[in-house]
Amino acid sequence: MKPSDALSCLSTRGDGVLLQLSVMPNAKRTQVDGLHDGALRVRLAAPPIDGRANEALVAWLAKSLGVARRDVEVVRGESSRRKQVAIAVSFDVAARWLAEVLKTSA
């Protein structure tokens, strides 16, 4: 995988970034599972019931990136496996984080 492939799921949005995600709820544990069709695939240890998977996703992203939960927002795909999440963090920080989580998922 080339670095540019990993960045295909990340774009700038104002002062933050947009992250394209492919989410798989009901996993044994929350973890990154590589890239899938231009999105970061994340397995979530939460059921897709009453917004619990979205809450778990927001909490996991906030903790992983070192930002407050209020700085992470699902802007598209709340009831879908394909999601677009806005995160109030610089592109450079998000790109470094993305490279690290992809390296550890390999």
CATH class of the domain comprising 3-105 = alpha beta
CA separation for the pair 91, 33 (Å, rounded): 21
- Going from N- to C-terminal start, the domains of the chain cover 3-105
Q: Return phi, psi of residue 57, to 5°.
A: -65, -50
pTM for the whole thing?
Answer: 0.90
pLDDT band at 3 (very low <50, low <70, confident <90, very high): very low
For residue 36, which amino acid is it? H
CA separation for the pair 64, 14 (Å, rounded): 21
The answer, yes or no, to whether residue 100 has pLDDT greater than 80, is yes
Burial class (CB in 10 A: 0-12, 13-18, 19+), 3: exposed
The answer, yes or no, to whether residue 4 has pLDDT greater than 60, is no
CA separation for the pair 84, 9 (Å, rounded): 9
